[in-house]
Structure 1
């Protein structure tokens, strides 16, 4: 890999280049080195940012004419890219946040920060190498950064280990901010395939964030008057269910428009909060209600089946959820979806057999020996199933998944 060579050959002295290489390698999954995973490389990129001082605004005290506008734009873009990865990896890996925004005064990114480096390119160069709708895609990126700030607040309020218990007013205030997030217009006409996909992808992030926010409050209650506790918790559960249903609608649009081929490595984890919500709903109601909820989950499983053609982690998620479904529906067939990779098995790298390290990060699993249903218990699968079936938290599932 080019980025790995740039980082490891020892000849590169430009710290910005090393930062960029680390950030890009955060999307690469090693077959050999346990440490060479998204968490490691993103942490390296964040460290480079802070060593270089990119977490501070270079124009705070006095404008430095030796720093060009292009440099300022690049530095701002790199910092906020690291911030975005920190927040979403914190959620999807169940790990603490590395960036504290109280230590940073970098202004929020602008659409122009994404366009600065292409101003000098010829029309032929732009047409050959970049999408024509870069201004629109840049706006989507800014929306994701704004949303990521809110996600950080959600993780601190609901999942931080030593967090103070929030009040009803705290929860209501954060909810208002979440509902005010800027989002693309899903019904805008005339969009290209790329714009359609990324418009929907921003919404996938948003629904995952809403589920992450609402789910704990379906079982917990903040400080305050507990007189209407049950009604309040019921409303929060309904809101989480609605966000999960919205996720299914987004997936339906992506499938109908044949856009799943544009999915990136972040797409499979974004489906997990909705899948867990559907799974938990399968435990309640009469047989018809349970079947309807199972159908919603199966839609997500079918999309995961398609995504696993590119991302092995999707087959891991399918295997985990198939095992969980069978706990609720013992007669549920593990072979219901036809694929070259069995949904009730998880692959183990390098033909070494199942080990705890090989499941430390599900995204690192590659083709090799298979781990069947009976092996879940030996690898802590009972804890994983307990976390997956926990009514309160999507975060506990990520933590359990990464501790296997």
Structure 2
């Protein structure tokens, strides 16, 4: 690699000073020329104390072969087609030939971290872990140790690894969560120009350029997908703005052409037979997330104006065009159906997010040109999307697919849960009862996911407390005065004949822990809910821009009656 090529990689665009300097020295070079990241790695040996620390952290340890095989299989069946960022032929062919000896340890442990969410209990036992959370903690600590002592990891491998480290989440007190890692991935990607379209033309020096370009394109759009949903989950600005990027959308062949090079045992054991259908689903996911980014900019830009009804309807039409694309065949396999349902969950969540501000917060100005009838239509579409989310969750339960849900699905459930919680405040008893039942389905799913994801535990506690607040407020509403004995008798008769959705003698749908009496707990809890700038009351929880800050998180859990300790981390 020549010095000139290295300079072209780093000069950036017209905003940077190096661009103008290079332009003066090499005016004949096309302005938009860009080369691939260098393949050479500048490395240096680790110091003895660093090696010893890494050894104590288990960085150089190896899992049993059958456990490692199952984790790699889970990765390519449940992670790769949501984040197709790995060079599958290079990784699988090397792994099947030589094991993990020649694979980057940072990438190796990062892959196992992502795969640990989906392994069965018997695999955990063979590996010596008591739970998925315990396995994920071990995998993360080893990968994080390698990242901290990094010595010149090749840039694309480093980006791939930190994207996968974004599967780590414990609580907002831990600054190295998904928000942190996706930020690093985006910064590194922009540093080597993955956000810009390649226009190498005849100057491309490598024969493997198409495959390399395909990989880079997939990595960039994986960053976009993660950026959209992590930004939504945390209530923070997106880091990627479409006006700064011109990398073209990926296509199915970007994945399929690469998989053709996976042969023998690597293909039969690790690559799903439904690869093409899964690749088509990923393309649909990318397009959904591209539209989601525009919606978030319209609704949550700090200095933005009121959107027009034309803008809202434009994005509604974009989503409508994606409604029937890549529909899962009726006779498809169970794993393919589970993946398709998850894409549909994200799709319905995006529809709910488009209309959510006009349902939950009636003080939100209507789009320019809109009227009360439009608001009724928007409310109807948001409620329909929330109901469709319930139907999809029910379908997942029927095929035992809840355990295969990706972390972003928890974020995708929240808009529907907010809409159901809003309807729990309705003065209409039937509307309120129906909303409570719908919300209970989400709580059931979250209860199941708490064993795998810390974020599911946080969301469960949040909405559980919100429902308790609503029940308390509803019970304190004054009843209308009774005018005479006849009216009293009629009122008593009506109350006795009113059907009860949840009879007192019926066991609860979800398991609830035994309450623990804390000194001053009630006063402390009220202080948290009334004083926090993020969650003063249920109405604020219903705000589309709601998020739970780091400052409020610990108080929320410490004030909660059934705060529990997970090995080896303490929530809050």
Verify same fold: TM over 0.5.
yes
Higher mean alpha-carbon deviation, 140-149 vs 284-293, is at 284-293
Which 5+ residue runs of structure 1 have no aligned equivalent? 346-368
Q: How does 1:342-353 map to 2 (within 5 A)?
A: none
Structure 1's 402 and 204: CA in aligned 2 closer, same or farther, altered over 3 A? farther
Where 1:397 maps in the other structure, the secondary structure is coil
- Measure how far apart 1:95 and its partner are: 0.7
Higher mean alpha-carbon deviation, 260-269 vs 235-244, is at 260-269
Compare CA radii of gyration and give the structure with the larger one: 2
Counterpart-to-counterpart distance in 2, 1:206 and 1:33: 30
Match of 1:303 among 439, 445, 456: 445
Counterpart-to-counterpart distance in 2, 1:120 and 1:308: 38
| Aligned twin of 2:277 | 136
8 Å Cα contact 1:221/1:233 also seen in 2: no
- Measure how far apart 1:13 and its partner are: 3.0
Structure 1's 270 and 374: CA in aligned 2 closer, same or farther, altered over 3 A? farther
Match of 1:196 among 311, 314, 337: 337
8 Å Cα contact 1:217/1:392 also seen in 2: no
**Deviation digits for residues 282-328 of structure 1, max 9, x if unmatched?**
11142232111110111111111111121122122121111111222
**Deviation digits for residues 131-163 of structure 1, max 9, x if unmatched?**
111111111111111111100111011111111
| Aligned twin of 1:110 | 251
Counterpart-to-counterpart distance in 1, 2:179 and 2:389: 26
- Measure how far apart 1:373 and its partner are: 7.0
Which 5+ residue runs of structure 2 have no aligned equivalent? 1-138, 476-501, 553-572
Q: Does 1:153 align with 2:294?
A: yes
| Aligned twin of 2:231 | 90
| Aligned twin of 1:276 | 418
Counterpart-to-counterpart distance in 2, 1:203 and 1:103: 28
Structure 1's 376 and 122: CA in aligned 2 closer, same or farther, altered over 3 A? farther
Match of 1:14 among 136, 154, 158: 154
Match of 1:170 among 281, 288, 311: 311
Counterpart-to-counterpart distance in 2, 1:32 and 1:39: 10
| Aligned twin of 1:119 | 260
- Measure how far apart 1:192 and its partner are: 1.7
- Aligned CA RMSD, in angstroms, stands at 2.9
Q: Does 1:264 align with 2:413?
A: no
Structure 1's 223 and 325: CA in aligned 2 closer, same or farther, altered over 3 A? closer
Match of 2:216 among 62, 66, 75: 75
Where 2:356 maps in the other structure, the secondary structure is helix
Counterpart-to-counterpart distance in 2, 1:391 and 1:7: 37
8 Å Cα contact 1:215/1:391 also seen in 2: no
Structure 1's 69 and 61: CA in aligned 2 closer, same or farther, altered over 3 A? closer
Where 2:443 maps in the other structure, the secondary structure is helix
8 Å Cα contact 1:140/1:199 also seen in 2: yes
Structure 1's 280 and 20: CA in aligned 2 closer, same or farther, altered over 3 A? same
Counterpart-to-counterpart distance in 1, 2:367 and 2:448: 44
| Aligned twin of 1:35 | 175
- Measure how far apart 1:208 and its partner are: 0.9
Structure 1's 105 and 60: CA in aligned 2 closer, same or farther, altered over 3 A? farther
Counterpart-to-counterpart distance in 1, 2:232 and 2:318: 19
8 Å Cα contact 1:208/1:271 also seen in 2: yes
| Aligned twin of 2:144 | 4
8 Å Cα contact 2:390/2:438 also seen in 1: yes
- Measure how far apart 1:130 and its partner are: 2.1
Counterpart-to-counterpart distance in 1, 2:418 and 2:512: 24
8 Å Cα contact 1:275/1:297 also seen in 2: yes
**Deviation digits for residues 202-255 of structure 1, max 9, x if unmatched?**
1110111111110112333445446xx222212211111110000000001000
Match of 2:539 among 385, 389, 400: 389
Higher mean alpha-carbon deviation, 83-92 vs 33-42, is at 33-42
| Aligned twin of 1:362 | none
User: Under a length normalisation based on structure 1, what TM-score does the superposition of the two structures give?
Assistant: 0.84
Where 1:389 maps in the other structure, the secondary structure is helix
